[in-house]
Structure 1
């Protein structure tokens, strides 16, 4: 797997490069600003990218803007956002476009190298990987019309765990219910959200995107 990193902190970017290289992941380029990141993605066509939200010159939200631009140029580009905070507006836009793998992790909450590398590989494979704190902040602003309103409290719990990237077995263990019960809850969620088996795309991902973008 080849990645491009957008990170202006030299110590952090060098550490990421050493870490990833040790895990057999090639770092094709490290960009220190948004234009450099977009150019590197265009040149190297990586399998995944790691992007810090805050990049020069203003150190506000240039990184996530750059990720959105890069995905417009290359639809489905896997992006793992690694940041110290949640930029709600643009994080929601990045997550809800429904194309390719997306991850959003908070630097201070990444406790194990193995978890970070696993998250990167899952994003590269097209999965959605979200820190629970990110989900919580994205769900603070509710839309007037709520497509999630028809879900029962238990179905909401199941969908929230799906949004964290948990599989059915893990959800069952977390909620102390059977795998079959989880399967039934997920079927009800799909039905209530209008996600029929003939819908294009993965219904699980579509349900999670609806949950994140509409709550």
Structure 2
């Protein structure tokens, strides 16, 4: 129920004759208990088309609604405030790490560790001679060939389970097929880390072929390695 809808209900309650209301049978009066000749008449549910029992039930409902509805509206507001309070208390504080729980030796005999949120890891066959590009190729095979089979089997054998394929993106050198790496401005200026006096920031350091290609594009002398 939206706040606007709740406000509409509350407005109707406020506009109606003040409660409580009561009933003698099918007529509705103002007050906690009907007093003949004294209680203020509100209305009636006698329609002439239904049974007396139904008229009495309708009158009882209408009379009770004058206090039931405001009470329920107030309870909704109370519960909403409580939910907001609990959500605020559980929200992680920005920039703060949760404090580690203290260890009590007495707990060791009465608790055990359980694993939740399990993850399935699929590892392709590897070779000690593989380059980063080989691993990237195998990851692509996992994504396009192996993963669809695994997802189909999971859906058929374990309905309701969910899974996702994730992989890390890396840049690979087209010359050495290793992960592409380059020197920072600070490393290129530092004699202890730079290749030579012609080194500049952004210069590849993964292999000489990449370094020569970079220097040729910058019109710098070829590295003497």
TM-score in same-fold range (> 0.5): no
TM-score, normalized by length of structure 2?
0.19
RCO higher in 1 or 2 (8 Å CA, sep ≥ 6)?
Answer: 1
Higher strand share: 1
TM-score, normalized by length of structure 1?
0.19
Larger Rg: 2
